[in-house]
Amino acid sequence: MIYTVTFNPALDYVVRLPAFEPGAVNRTESEDIQLGGKGINVSCVLGQLGFKSVALGFVAGFTGEAVEAGLARRGVNADFIRLPEGLTRINVKIKASVETEINGQGPHIPAEALEELFQKLDRLAAGDVLVLAGSIPASLPSDIYQRILERLAPKGVLCAVDATGELLVKVLPYKPFLIKPNNHELGEIFGRTLSTDEEIVECARLLQQKGARNVLVSMAGDGALLLDEGGNVHRLEAFKGKVKNSVGAGDSMVAGFVAGWLEKGDYAWALRLGSACGSATAFSDTLATRTEIETLLNR
């Protein structure tokens, strides 16, 4: 089974307007409410690809109930821990000439709720897949990803981690199955600006030497590069299309990669499906659908 963890889910209030003027009354052309949170995005795209998953994490208040109901409508099995106080956050996404985001803080997660999550994770077994994605709330310890991988490493659970900086580096000794920095995040880890494929491969190998099995580097309009656990470099140019939405593209890539690898056990195919999923989301107003993904693959 595939499990995703979203420590800080959200409802994304997405508004579109021709121009955004601070300090003035702005009127929208359209608005929508979408589910937010990187692990939730991964679960939703996995569902489009025909893979069941269980969404784990924390929710609170009436907004948390809305997140659970939204996942149920999408056929995603949610097993969230309900917090007694606070509200699952609402993020405002303003799409005008440029994108502006106002992200909520989210509820406080007490120690006993975190321990309840650990107990759920302890049930995972060899062959299960766990996706950890995104930043963590201030109420959680900064080494939470590291603690989870340390706990699961002896079990043979395949862990995919999409995080940045120290949050990512600290999990490497536990040999995660997949890490997915973008090229800028990869360079920041080593204090460098990466301009060529050779430089990206060099830094990806360093992360592999520290423990990562597969390093998937997304490069927006320049495509993606994968250094697989056999030392092979796979390079894929970007799919062509008009970018409408940057939110969830990286999460969609992770979902596609995991699904592709589980489907065929082939890293080249996993990279291609992951790239198609990421691009399909970027070319859409919402997360990619199966039809949109297949359209790109069939080009």
128 catalytic, yes or no? no
- For helices 38-48 and 61-73, give the axis angle rounded to 10 degrees: 20
> What is the Cβ-side half-sphere exposure of residue 264, based on CA atoms within 13 angstroms?
11
Q: Which of 128, 162, 228, 251 is catalytic?
A: 251
DSSP sequence for 2-38: EEEEESS-EEEEEEE-S---TTS----SEEEEEEE-H
Give the active site residues. Answer: 251
